[in-house]
Chain A
Amino acid sequence: MFKKLIEESTAKSPWLFHINAGSCNGCDIELVSVLTPRYDAERLGFKLTGTPRHADIVVVTGPVTSQSLPRVLRAISQVPEPRCIVTMGSCPQSGNVFRGSYSVAGPLSKYVHVDVDVAGCAPKPEAVIDGLALATQILKEKRAKK
Protein backbone atom coordinates (compact mmCIF):
# COMPACT_ATOMS: atom_id res chain seq x y z
CA MET A 1 0.00 0.00 0.00
CA PHE A 2 2.79 2.36 0.94
CA LYS A 3 4.57 1.64 -2.36
CA LYS A 4 1.38 2.42 -4.28
CA LEU A 5 1.01 5.70 -2.34
CA ILE A 6 4.54 6.78 -3.22
CA GLU A 7 4.00 5.92 -6.89
CA GLU A 8 0.79 7.94 -7.07
CA SER A 9 2.43 10.86 -5.28
CA THR A 10 5.43 10.79 -7.61
CA ALA A 11 3.14 11.50 -10.55
CA LYS A 12 1.34 14.26 -8.68
CA SER A 13 4.23 16.27 -7.30
CA PRO A 14 6.91 16.83 -9.95
CA TRP A 15 9.38 19.57 -9.07
CA LEU A 16 11.25 21.25 -11.88
CA PHE A 17 14.84 22.38 -12.12
CA HIS A 18 15.61 24.61 -15.05
CA ILE A 19 19.04 24.65 -16.69
CA ASN A 20 19.89 27.29 -19.27
CA ALA A 21 22.53 25.76 -21.55
CA GLY A 22 23.21 28.85 -23.65
CA SER A 23 19.60 29.58 -24.53
CA CYS A 24 18.49 32.81 -26.23
CA ASN A 25 16.05 33.35 -23.29
CA GLY A 26 12.96 32.72 -25.44
CA CYS A 27 12.29 29.25 -24.02
CA ASP A 28 13.10 30.44 -20.49
CA ILE A 29 10.35 33.04 -20.71
CA GLU A 30 7.93 30.46 -22.13
CA LEU A 31 8.74 28.12 -19.23
CA VAL A 32 7.95 30.87 -16.73
CA SER A 33 4.69 31.63 -18.56
CA VAL A 34 3.63 28.02 -17.89
CA LEU A 35 3.56 28.89 -14.17
CA THR A 36 1.61 32.14 -14.57
CA PRO A 37 -2.13 32.48 -13.79
CA ARG A 38 -3.14 31.84 -17.41
CA TYR A 39 -1.69 28.29 -17.63
CA ASP A 40 -0.97 27.63 -13.92
CA ALA A 41 1.04 24.40 -13.98
CA GLU A 42 0.97 24.42 -10.17
CA ARG A 43 -2.51 22.89 -10.30
CA LEU A 44 -0.74 19.70 -11.49
CA GLY A 45 1.77 20.01 -8.64
CA PHE A 46 4.63 21.54 -10.66
CA LYS A 47 6.96 23.78 -8.73
CA LEU A 48 10.24 25.45 -9.68
CA THR A 49 13.01 24.55 -7.25
CA GLY A 50 16.25 26.39 -6.70
CA THR A 51 18.55 23.40 -6.37
CA PRO A 52 18.97 20.18 -8.41
CA ARG A 53 18.84 18.13 -5.17
CA HIS A 54 15.10 18.83 -4.80
CA ALA A 55 14.19 18.26 -8.43
CA ASP A 56 12.40 15.41 -10.21
CA ILE A 57 12.35 16.83 -13.73
CA VAL A 58 15.29 18.68 -15.29
CA VAL A 59 14.28 21.10 -18.03
CA VAL A 60 17.16 21.99 -20.36
CA THR A 61 16.91 24.93 -22.75
CA GLY A 62 19.52 26.15 -25.21
CA PRO A 63 21.84 24.42 -27.73
CA VAL A 64 24.30 23.14 -25.03
CA THR A 65 27.38 25.23 -25.70
CA SER A 66 30.79 23.69 -25.09
CA GLN A 67 31.23 26.04 -22.11
CA SER A 68 27.97 24.95 -20.47
CA LEU A 69 28.23 21.19 -21.22
CA PRO A 70 30.28 20.14 -18.14
CA ARG A 71 28.05 22.27 -15.87
CA VAL A 72 24.87 20.80 -17.35
CA LEU A 73 26.14 17.22 -16.87
CA ARG A 74 27.24 17.99 -13.31
CA ALA A 75 23.90 19.55 -12.40
CA ILE A 76 21.99 16.60 -13.90
CA SER A 77 24.12 14.09 -11.99
CA GLN A 78 23.15 15.85 -8.73
CA VAL A 79 19.45 15.14 -9.21
CA PRO A 80 18.33 12.18 -7.07
CA GLU A 81 16.72 9.12 -8.72
CA PRO A 82 14.07 8.68 -10.10
CA ARG A 83 14.61 11.64 -12.41
CA CYS A 84 13.45 12.73 -15.82
CA ILE A 85 15.21 14.92 -18.37
CA VAL A 86 13.11 17.12 -20.63
CA THR A 87 14.61 19.22 -23.41
CA MET A 88 12.69 22.34 -24.25
CA GLY A 89 12.78 23.98 -27.67
CA SER A 90 14.53 22.79 -30.81
CA CYS A 91 18.02 23.83 -29.64
CA PRO A 92 18.96 21.01 -27.21
CA GLN A 93 17.28 18.52 -29.53
CA SER A 94 19.01 19.35 -32.83
CA GLY A 95 21.08 22.49 -32.41
CA ASN A 96 18.49 24.54 -34.32
CA VAL A 97 20.09 27.51 -36.15
CA PHE A 98 23.26 27.10 -34.07
CA ARG A 99 23.97 23.63 -35.49
CA GLY A 100 27.55 23.24 -36.68
CA SER A 101 28.83 26.22 -34.75
CA TYR A 102 32.34 25.85 -33.29
CA SER A 103 31.01 26.61 -29.79
CA VAL A 104 28.03 24.24 -29.74
CA ALA A 105 28.52 20.76 -28.26
CA GLY A 106 24.90 19.59 -28.51
CA PRO A 107 22.56 17.86 -29.09
CA LEU A 108 22.08 16.88 -25.47
CA SER A 109 21.08 13.28 -26.29
CA LYS A 110 24.73 12.58 -27.26
CA TYR A 111 25.66 12.84 -23.54
CA VAL A 112 22.66 11.81 -21.41
CA HIS A 113 19.44 9.87 -21.84
CA VAL A 114 16.67 12.34 -22.71
CA ASP A 115 13.14 11.26 -21.74
CA VAL A 116 10.98 13.88 -23.45
CA ASP A 117 11.67 16.34 -26.26
CA VAL A 118 9.43 19.37 -26.60
CA ALA A 119 10.16 20.86 -30.02
CA GLY A 120 9.42 24.40 -31.17
CA CYS A 121 11.18 27.73 -31.27
CA ALA A 122 9.95 28.56 -28.71
CA PRO A 123 7.33 25.83 -27.94
CA LYS A 124 3.83 26.96 -26.96
CA PRO A 125 3.01 26.77 -23.25
CA GLU A 126 0.38 24.11 -24.04
CA ALA A 127 3.07 21.96 -25.67
CA VAL A 128 5.35 22.46 -22.65
CA ILE A 129 2.61 21.39 -20.23
CA ASP A 130 1.90 18.37 -22.44
CA GLY A 131 5.58 17.39 -22.41
CA LEU A 132 5.84 17.83 -18.66
CA ALA A 133 2.69 15.77 -18.07
CA LEU A 134 4.24 13.01 -20.18
CA ALA A 135 7.39 13.27 -18.08
CA THR A 136 5.40 12.75 -14.85
CA GLN A 137 4.06 9.46 -16.27
CA ILE A 138 7.61 8.37 -17.12
CA LEU A 139 8.67 9.33 -13.58
CA LYS A 140 5.92 7.15 -12.15
CA GLU A 141 6.99 4.19 -14.31
CA LYS A 142 10.62 4.66 -13.26
CA ARG A 143 9.56 4.71 -9.61
CA ALA A 144 7.45 1.55 -10.10
CA LYS A 145 10.41 -0.32 -11.64
CA LYS A 146 12.63 0.36 -8.62
Chain B
Amino acid sequence: MMTIVLTALQYLGYILIFPGFLFCFVIGMLLCGIDRKIVARMQKRVGPPVLQPFYDFFKLCGKETIIPAAASKTTFLAAPLVGLAALVVLQLFIPIHGFSAFSGMADIIVILYLLLIPAMAAMLGGAASGSPYAGIGLSREMVTIIACELPLVMVLLAVGKVVGGDAVTFSFSKIANYQLANGSLITHASLIPAAIAMLLIIPGETGNHPFDTAEAETEICEGLLAEYSGAPLAVYKLTHCVKVLTLTSFFAALFLGGIGTGIVVVDALILVAICIVLTIVSISFVHAITARLKIEQVFKFYWTIVTGLALISLVLAWYGL
Protein backbone atom coordinates (compact mmCIF):
# COMPACT_ATOMS: atom_id res chain seq x y z
CA MET B 1 0.00 0.00 0.00
CA MET B 2 2.77 2.38 1.06
CA THR B 3 4.73 1.74 -2.12
CA ILE B 4 1.69 2.46 -4.28
CA VAL B 5 1.18 5.80 -2.57
CA LEU B 6 4.87 6.63 -2.92
CA THR B 7 4.90 5.72 -6.61
CA ALA B 8 1.78 7.80 -7.17
CA LEU B 9 3.42 10.74 -5.40
CA GLN B 10 6.58 10.27 -7.43
CA TYR B 11 4.66 10.37 -10.72
CA LEU B 12 2.65 13.35 -9.49
CA GLY B 13 5.96 15.09 -8.82
CA TYR B 14 7.14 14.19 -12.33
CA ILE B 15 3.98 15.60 -13.91
CA LEU B 16 3.61 18.76 -11.84
CA ILE B 17 7.16 19.78 -10.99
CA PHE B 18 10.07 18.16 -12.84
CA PRO B 19 10.26 17.52 -15.78
CA GLY B 20 6.56 18.37 -16.02
CA PHE B 21 4.55 21.53 -15.66
CA LEU B 22 6.66 23.81 -13.43
CA PHE B 23 9.91 23.05 -15.26
CA CYS B 24 8.24 23.61 -18.65
CA PHE B 25 6.63 26.85 -17.44
CA VAL B 26 9.80 28.46 -16.08
CA ILE B 27 12.33 27.26 -18.65
CA GLY B 28 10.00 27.69 -21.63
CA MET B 29 9.28 31.30 -20.69
CA LEU B 30 12.96 31.92 -20.07
CA LEU B 31 13.85 30.57 -23.54
CA CYS B 32 11.29 32.88 -25.16
CA GLY B 33 12.57 35.84 -23.16
CA ILE B 34 16.14 35.14 -24.25
CA ASP B 35 14.93 34.76 -27.84
CA ARG B 36 13.25 38.18 -27.78
CA LYS B 37 16.32 39.78 -26.18
CA ILE B 38 18.73 38.27 -28.74
CA VAL B 39 16.54 39.31 -31.67
CA ALA B 40 16.42 42.85 -30.26
CA ARG B 41 20.20 42.95 -29.81
CA MET B 42 20.70 41.74 -33.39
CA GLN B 43 18.47 44.61 -34.57
CA LYS B 44 20.54 47.06 -32.45
CA ARG B 45 17.72 47.56 -29.97
CA VAL B 46 17.87 47.34 -26.18
CA GLY B 47 15.05 44.84 -26.18
CA PRO B 48 12.54 43.78 -23.52
CA PRO B 49 13.73 42.33 -20.20
CA VAL B 50 14.39 38.58 -20.23
CA LEU B 51 11.41 38.13 -17.89
CA GLN B 52 9.03 39.80 -20.37
CA PRO B 53 7.10 36.56 -21.21
CA PHE B 54 6.30 36.17 -17.48
CA TYR B 55 4.91 39.72 -17.37
CA ASP B 56 2.86 39.06 -20.50
CA PHE B 57 1.50 35.83 -19.02
CA PHE B 58 0.44 37.32 -15.69
CA LYS B 59 -0.98 40.42 -17.32
CA LEU B 60 -3.14 38.29 -19.62
CA CYS B 61 -4.32 36.29 -16.59
CA GLY B 62 -5.68 39.53 -15.12
CA LYS B 63 -7.54 40.60 -18.26
CA GLU B 64 -11.20 40.13 -19.04
CA THR B 65 -12.00 36.98 -21.04
CA ILE B 66 -14.40 37.77 -23.86
CA ILE B 67 -16.28 34.89 -25.45
CA PRO B 68 -17.65 35.86 -28.88
CA ALA B 69 -21.38 35.38 -29.46
CA ALA B 70 -20.66 33.14 -32.47
CA ALA B 71 -18.28 30.87 -30.54
CA SER B 72 -18.94 27.41 -29.17
CA LYS B 73 -18.10 28.09 -25.55
CA THR B 74 -16.78 24.73 -24.29
CA THR B 75 -14.46 24.05 -27.23
CA PHE B 76 -13.29 27.66 -27.24
CA LEU B 77 -12.18 27.48 -23.59
CA ALA B 78 -11.01 23.84 -23.44
CA ALA B 79 -8.82 23.83 -26.57
CA PRO B 80 -5.86 25.79 -25.11
CA LEU B 81 -5.74 23.57 -22.00
CA VAL B 82 -5.71 20.38 -24.09
CA GLY B 83 -2.80 21.69 -26.15
CA LEU B 84 -0.78 22.64 -23.07
CA ALA B 85 -1.46 19.31 -21.34
CA ALA B 86 -0.29 17.37 -24.42
CA LEU B 87 3.00 19.28 -24.49
CA VAL B 88 3.66 18.74 -20.78
CA VAL B 89 3.07 15.00 -21.24
CA LEU B 90 5.43 15.06 -24.23
CA GLN B 91 8.15 16.62 -22.11
CA LEU B 92 7.92 13.66 -19.71
CA PHE B 93 8.93 11.27 -22.50
CA ILE B 94 12.10 13.14 -23.44
CA PRO B 95 15.13 11.62 -21.70
CA ILE B 96 17.55 13.87 -19.82
CA HIS B 97 20.89 12.04 -20.06
CA GLY B 98 19.88 8.64 -18.62
CA PHE B 99 16.77 9.81 -16.76
CA SER B 100 13.30 9.78 -18.27
CA ALA B 101 10.03 10.06 -16.36
CA PHE B 102 8.05 7.88 -18.77
CA SER B 103 9.50 5.46 -21.28
CA GLY B 104 8.13 2.75 -23.50
CA MET B 105 8.71 0.47 -26.47
CA ALA B 106 7.77 2.99 -29.15
CA ASP B 107 7.68 6.36 -27.43
CA ILE B 108 8.93 8.19 -30.54
CA ILE B 109 5.61 7.42 -32.22
CA VAL B 110 3.74 8.65 -29.13
CA ILE B 111 5.81 11.86 -29.28
CA LEU B 112 4.95 12.33 -32.95
CA TYR B 113 1.24 12.18 -32.11
CA LEU B 114 1.55 14.36 -29.01
CA LEU B 115 3.41 16.98 -31.06
CA LEU B 116 0.37 17.25 -33.33
CA ILE B 117 -2.13 17.82 -30.51
CA PRO B 118 -1.25 21.47 -29.65
CA ALA B 119 -1.60 22.44 -33.31
CA MET B 120 -4.86 20.51 -33.58
CA ALA B 121 -6.13 22.13 -30.37
CA ALA B 122 -5.25 25.59 -31.68
CA MET B 123 -7.09 24.78 -34.91
CA LEU B 124 -10.16 23.51 -33.01
CA GLY B 125 -10.20 26.56 -30.76
CA GLY B 126 -9.79 28.89 -33.72
CA ALA B 127 -12.57 27.15 -35.63
CA ALA B 128 -14.82 27.34 -32.55
CA SER B 129 -14.28 31.10 -32.25
CA GLY B 130 -16.23 31.68 -35.45
CA SER B 131 -13.87 34.34 -36.77
CA PRO B 132 -13.08 34.46 -40.50
CA TYR B 133 -9.45 35.36 -39.70
CA ALA B 134 -9.21 32.17 -37.66
CA GLY B 135 -10.53 30.28 -40.69
CA ILE B 136 -7.63 31.50 -42.83
CA GLY B 137 -5.20 30.85 -39.98
CA LEU B 138 -6.59 27.33 -39.61
CA SER B 139 -5.95 26.36 -43.22
CA ARG B 140 -2.43 27.82 -43.05
CA GLU B 141 -1.64 26.06 -39.77
CA MET B 142 -2.76 22.78 -41.33
CA VAL B 143 -0.47 23.29 -44.32
CA THR B 144 2.47 24.19 -42.05
CA ILE B 145 1.95 21.04 -39.97
CA ILE B 146 1.79 18.83 -43.07
CA ALA B 147 4.91 20.54 -44.43
CA CYS B 148 6.88 19.92 -41.20
CA GLU B 149 5.68 16.41 -40.51
CA LEU B 150 7.22 14.65 -43.54
CA PRO B 151 10.85 15.74 -42.93
CA LEU B 152 10.40 15.17 -39.17
CA VAL B 153 9.36 11.56 -39.70
CA MET B 154 12.28 11.00 -42.09
CA VAL B 155 14.74 12.44 -39.55
CA LEU B 156 13.37 10.09 -36.90
CA LEU B 157 13.61 7.12 -39.29
CA ALA B 158 17.26 7.94 -40.02
CA VAL B 159 18.07 8.19 -36.31
CA GLY B 160 16.17 4.96 -35.63
CA LYS B 161 18.06 3.15 -38.38
CA VAL B 162 21.49 4.24 -37.10
CA VAL B 163 20.66 3.27 -33.52
CA GLY B 164 18.67 0.13 -34.24
CA GLY B 165 20.97 -1.38 -36.89
CA ASP B 166 18.91 -4.06 -38.65
CA ALA B 167 15.60 -3.15 -37.07
CA VAL B 168 14.61 0.54 -36.97
CA THR B 169 14.06 1.49 -33.34
CA PHE B 170 11.34 3.80 -32.09
CA SER B 171 12.39 3.63 -28.46
CA PHE B 172 13.76 6.82 -26.97
CA SER B 173 15.50 5.01 -24.11
CA LYS B 174 17.42 2.91 -26.67
CA ILE B 175 18.53 6.07 -28.47
CA ALA B 176 19.64 7.60 -25.14
CA ASN B 177 21.51 4.45 -24.10
CA TYR B 178 23.20 4.16 -27.52
CA GLN B 179 24.49 7.72 -27.14
CA LEU B 180 25.67 7.02 -23.58
CA ALA B 181 27.77 4.15 -24.95
CA ASN B 182 28.91 5.57 -28.31
CA GLY B 183 28.85 9.37 -27.92
CA SER B 184 26.46 11.92 -29.43
CA LEU B 185 24.72 11.04 -32.68
CA ILE B 186 25.67 14.39 -34.21
CA THR B 187 29.25 13.09 -34.54
CA HIS B 188 27.84 10.37 -36.80
CA ALA B 189 28.61 11.60 -40.35
CA SER B 190 25.40 10.27 -41.91
CA LEU B 191 23.23 12.12 -39.39
CA ILE B 192 24.64 15.64 -39.88
CA PRO B 193 22.17 16.51 -42.69
CA ALA B 194 19.35 15.17 -40.49
CA ALA B 195 20.48 17.40 -37.62
CA ILE B 196 20.45 20.45 -39.92
CA ALA B 197 16.99 19.46 -41.17
CA MET B 198 15.79 19.14 -37.56
CA LEU B 199 17.18 22.60 -36.74
CA LEU B 200 15.11 23.98 -39.64
CA ILE B 201 12.01 22.10 -38.47
CA ILE B 202 12.09 23.73 -35.00
CA PRO B 203 10.95 27.25 -36.09
CA GLY B 204 8.30 25.71 -38.36
CA GLU B 205 6.81 23.58 -35.61
CA THR B 206 6.82 26.38 -33.06
CA GLY B 207 5.38 28.85 -35.56
CA ASN B 208 8.25 31.32 -35.30
CA HIS B 209 9.55 33.68 -37.95
CA PRO B 210 9.71 33.21 -40.95
CA PHE B 211 7.17 30.38 -40.79
CA ASP B 212 4.52 32.19 -38.72
CA THR B 213 2.11 32.55 -41.65
CA ALA B 214 -0.68 31.02 -39.53
CA GLU B 215 -0.40 33.79 -36.94
CA ALA B 216 0.58 36.69 -39.18
CA GLU B 217 -0.46 39.57 -36.92
CA THR B 218 -0.12 42.33 -39.49
CA GLU B 219 -1.84 40.35 -42.22
CA ILE B 220 -4.64 38.22 -40.76
CA CYS B 221 -4.93 39.64 -37.21
CA GLU B 222 -3.05 36.82 -35.45
CA GLY B 223 -5.09 34.18 -37.32
CA LEU B 224 -6.16 31.40 -34.96
CA LEU B 225 -5.82 33.60 -31.88
CA ALA B 226 -7.84 36.50 -33.35
CA GLU B 227 -10.78 36.15 -30.93
CA TYR B 228 -8.89 35.02 -27.82
CA SER B 229 -8.35 37.31 -24.86
CA GLY B 230 -7.47 37.02 -21.19
CA ALA B 231 -6.55 33.73 -19.56
CA PRO B 232 -7.08 31.41 -22.60
CA LEU B 233 -4.73 33.63 -24.60
CA ALA B 234 -2.22 33.42 -21.75
CA VAL B 235 -2.38 29.62 -22.00
CA TYR B 236 -1.75 29.82 -25.76
CA LYS B 237 1.27 32.06 -25.20
CA LEU B 238 2.52 29.60 -22.57
CA THR B 239 1.96 26.70 -24.99
CA HIS B 240 4.12 28.45 -27.55
CA CYS B 241 6.91 28.93 -24.99
CA VAL B 242 6.72 25.30 -23.84
CA LYS B 243 6.83 24.18 -27.47
CA VAL B 244 10.16 25.95 -27.90
CA LEU B 245 11.52 24.06 -24.89
CA THR B 246 10.04 20.74 -26.04
CA LEU B 247 11.46 20.90 -29.55
CA THR B 248 14.90 22.09 -28.52
CA SER B 249 15.17 19.41 -25.82
CA PHE B 250 13.85 16.89 -28.37
CA PHE B 251 16.75 17.88 -30.63
CA ALA B 252 19.17 17.68 -27.68
CA ALA B 253 17.96 14.19 -26.79
CA LEU B 254 18.12 12.97 -30.40
CA PHE B 255 21.48 14.36 -31.48
CA LEU B 256 23.32 15.68 -28.42
CA GLY B 257 22.69 12.83 -25.97
CA GLY B 258 25.48 11.36 -23.88
CA ILE B 259 26.57 14.77 -22.60
CA GLY B 260 26.13 14.75 -18.85
CA THR B 261 27.19 13.46 -15.48
CA GLY B 262 24.46 11.13 -14.29
CA ILE B 263 23.27 13.49 -11.53
CA VAL B 264 19.78 14.56 -12.60
CA VAL B 265 19.99 18.18 -11.38
CA VAL B 266 23.31 18.83 -13.16
CA ASP B 267 22.04 17.11 -16.31
CA ALA B 268 18.91 19.25 -16.27
CA LEU B 269 21.07 22.39 -16.07
CA ILE B 270 23.21 21.14 -18.97
CA LEU B 271 20.01 20.48 -20.94
CA VAL B 272 18.80 24.02 -20.26
CA ALA B 273 22.14 25.41 -21.47
CA ILE B 274 21.91 23.32 -24.65
CA CYS B 275 18.29 24.45 -25.17
CA ILE B 276 19.31 28.11 -24.86
CA VAL B 277 22.04 27.68 -27.51
CA LEU B 278 19.65 25.79 -29.81
CA THR B 279 16.95 28.47 -29.37
CA ILE B 280 19.40 31.20 -30.30
CA VAL B 281 20.73 29.31 -33.34
CA SER B 282 17.51 27.93 -34.77
CA ILE B 283 14.94 30.55 -33.74
CA SER B 284 16.53 33.93 -32.89
CA PHE B 285 19.08 34.13 -35.71
CA VAL B 286 16.56 32.95 -38.29
CA HIS B 287 13.99 35.42 -36.94
CA ALA B 288 16.38 38.39 -37.10
CA ILE B 289 17.56 37.81 -40.68
CA THR B 290 14.37 36.81 -42.49
CA ALA B 291 10.96 38.22 -43.35
CA ARG B 292 7.74 36.23 -43.21
CA LEU B 293 7.26 33.73 -46.05
CA LYS B 294 4.06 33.11 -47.97
CA ILE B 295 2.34 29.83 -47.14
CA GLU B 296 3.23 28.18 -50.46
CA GLN B 297 6.86 29.19 -49.94
CA VAL B 298 6.81 27.54 -46.50
CA PHE B 299 5.43 24.36 -48.03
CA LYS B 300 7.94 24.39 -50.89
CA PHE B 301 10.86 25.05 -48.54
CA TYR B 302 10.01 22.12 -46.27
CA TRP B 303 9.19 19.61 -49.00
CA THR B 304 12.28 20.38 -51.10
CA ILE B 305 15.27 21.58 -49.05
CA VAL B 306 14.48 20.16 -45.62
CA THR B 307 13.04 16.90 -46.90
CA GLY B 308 16.05 16.63 -49.22
CA LEU B 309 18.45 16.94 -46.29
CA ALA B 310 16.49 14.35 -44.30
CA LEU B 311 16.41 12.04 -47.34
CA ILE B 312 20.21 12.24 -47.75
CA SER B 313 20.57 11.20 -44.11
CA LEU B 314 18.06 8.40 -44.49
CA VAL B 315 19.84 6.97 -47.55
CA LEU B 316 23.28 7.23 -45.91
CA ALA B 317 21.96 5.59 -42.74
CA TRP B 318 20.35 2.81 -44.77
CA TYR B 319 23.68 1.99 -46.42
CA GLY B 320 25.28 1.95 -42.97
CA LEU B 321 27.62 4.91 -43.37
CB-nearest residue of chain B relative to A55? B229
Within 8 Å CB of A45, what residues of B?
48-49, 52, 55-56
Is B228 a contact of A9 with CB atoms below 8 Å? no
User: Does B63 touch A at the CB level, under 8 Å?
Assistant: yes
Is A80 a contact of B66 with CB atoms below 8 Å? yes
Distance of A53 Cα from B55 Cα, bound (Å): 18
User: Does A50 touch B at the CB level, under 8 Å?
Assistant: yes
Within 8 Å CB of A50, what residues of B?
216-222, 226
Distance of A42 Cα from B48 Cα, bound (Å): 5
Residues of chain B in range 202-260 having any CB-CB distance to chain A below 8 Å: 216-222, 225-230, 233
Within 8 Å CB of B56, what residues of A?
9, 13, 45
Is A80 a contact of B65 with CB atoms below 8 Å? yes
Which secondary structure dominates where chain B touches chain A? loop
Within 8 Å CB of B48, what residues of A?
42-45
Is B44 a contact of A37 with CB atoms below 8 Å? yes
Residues of chain B in range 38-52 having any CB-CB distance to chain A below 8 Å: 40, 43-49, 52
Distance of A8 Cα from B45 Cα, bound (Å): 24
- Annotate A8-32 by CB proximity to B: 1 below 8 A, 0 otherwise: 1110110000000000000000000
Once A49-B222, A54-B233 are accepted as A-B contacts, the answer to whether A42 and B63 lie under 8 Å apart by CB is no
Once A13-B52, A51-B221, A54-B222 are accepted as A-B contacts, the answer to whether A42 and B45 lie under 8 Å apart by CB is yes
User: Does A78 touch B at the CB level, under 8 Å?
Assistant: yes
Residues of chain A in range 110-136 having any CB-CB distance to chain B below 8 Å: none
Q: How many residues of A contact B (CB 8 A)?
A: 26
Is B59 a contact of A6 with CB atoms below 8 Å? yes
Distance of A45 Cα from B55 Cα, bound (Å): 9
User: Does B270 touch A at the CB level, under 8 Å?
Assistant: no
Within 8 Å CB of B166, what residues of A?
none
Within 8 Å CB of B40, what residues of A?
40, 42-43
Distance of A81 Cα from B54 Cα, bound (Å): 20
CB-nearest residue of chain B relative to A14? B59
Distance of A45 Cα from B225 Cα, bound (Å): 20
Checking B55, B133, B229 against A54 with a beta-carbon cut-off of 8 angstroms, the contacting residue is B229
User: Does B145 touch A at the CB level, under 8 Å?
Assistant: no
Distance of A119 Cα from B58 Cα, bound (Å): 32
Distance of A53 Cα from B36 Cα, bound (Å): 22
Distance of A37 Cα from B44 Cα, bound (Å): 6
Shortest Cβ distance from residue A9 to the other chain B in the assembled complex, whole angstroms: 4
CB-nearest residue of chain A relative to B36? A42
Checking A6, A48, A81 against B61 with a beta-carbon cut-off of 8 angstroms, the contacting residue is A6
Is A13 a contact of B64 with CB atoms below 8 Å? no
User: Does A5 touch B at the CB level, under 8 Å?
Assistant: yes
Is B47 a contact of A43 with CB atoms below 8 Å? yes
Distance of A10 Cα from B49 Cα, bound (Å): 15
Once A37-B45, A42-B47 are accepted as A-B contacts, the answer to whether A10 and B228 lie under 8 Å apart by CB is no
Once A50-B221, A54-B229, A80-B65 are accepted as A-B contacts, the answer to whether A6 and B58 lie under 8 Å apart by CB is yes
Shortest Cβ distance from residue B238 to the other chain A in the assembled complex, whole angstroms: 14
Is A40 a contact of B229 with CB atoms below 8 Å? no
Shortest Cβ distance from residue A130 to the other chain B in the assembled complex, whole angstroms: 17
List 11 extra interface pairs beyond A12-B49, A50-B221, CB under 8 A.
A5-B58, A12-B59, A13-B55, A13-B59, A43-B40, A43-B46, A51-B222, A51-B227, A53-B228, A78-B66, A82-B63
A and B contact pairs by CB, cutoff 8 A, 29 listed: A5-B58, A7-B62, A12-B55, A13-B55, A13-B56, A13-B59, A37-B45, A40-B46, A43-B40, A43-B46, A43-B48, A45-B52, A45-B55, A48-B217, A50-B218, A50-B219, A51-B217, A51-B221, A51-B227, A53-B226, A53-B227, A53-B228, A54-B228, A54-B229, A56-B63, A80-B64, A80-B229, A80-B230, A81-B63
